[in-house]
A = this chain, B = another copy of it.
Amino acid sequence: MTAPTSPTKERLLELVAALGTAQWQDFSASAARHGLTGVQAKLLAHLKGPVPMRGLATLLVCDASNVTGIVDRLEARGLVRREPDPSDRRVKNVVATDEGRETIRRVRAGMHATHTALDALDAEQRTALYALLERLRDGLRPGS
């Protein structure tokens, strides 16, 4: 037989969980080396442009009041800035400062374990992995 009987869903589930955990550990450890918590770095990672507080709460899947505290701490370190939205005075847009952008870049670059793991795959494997993960994520995203 070509395939040694496909792995059970339980085994796959376990593996996906283990991978997610390992990746988060790697990310958090790298963030810690730059004086950030994992959550702070994750928020920073979402700031490719200005994002309203509410939008961050949606992205992080948490209450808006939680975002207030995280942004407070990032702002105190000068990695992020709140600026008023010109078209809606209720909204505060969060923007990464130059230092913030540089910091998150370094955090990503410092994920040694993840980089090493990905380096172990050749181009073909990466393409296959990408396709499979994309498919998985699409199923994982919306609702059930």
Copies of this chain: 2
Question: In this assembly, does A141 line the interface, its C-beta being within 8 Å of a C-beta of chain B?
Answer: yes
* A139→B22 CA distance, assembly (Å): 10
Q: CB within 8 A of A139: which of B117, B124, B143?
A: B117
Cβ–Cβ contact B124 & A13, under 8 A: no
Cβ–Cβ contact B115 & A23, under 8 A: no
Closest-by-CB residue of B relative to A134 is: B15
**1/0 contact trace for A105-122 toward B, CB 8 Å?**
000100111111111110
Q: Which residues of B contact A138 (CB under 8 A)?
A: 117
Cβ–Cβ contact A121 & B115, under 8 A: no
Question: In this assembly, does A76 line the interface, its C-beta being within 8 Å of a C-beta of chain B?
Answer: no
A residues 1-25 in Cβ contact with B at 8 Å: 3-4, 6-7, 9-13, 15-25
Cβ–Cβ contact A24 & B13, under 8 A: no
With known contacts A25-B61, A132-B121, A132-B132, A15–B137 Cβ distance under 8 A: yes
Looking at A3, A9, A17, A61, the one whose CB has the most chain B CB atoms below 10 A away is: A17
Q: CB within 8 A of A133: which of B10, B19, B126, B130?
A: B19
**7 tightest Cβ-Cβ pairs between the two chains A and B:** A117-B139, A20-B20, A6-B123, A22-B140, A7-B130, A117-B140, A6-B126
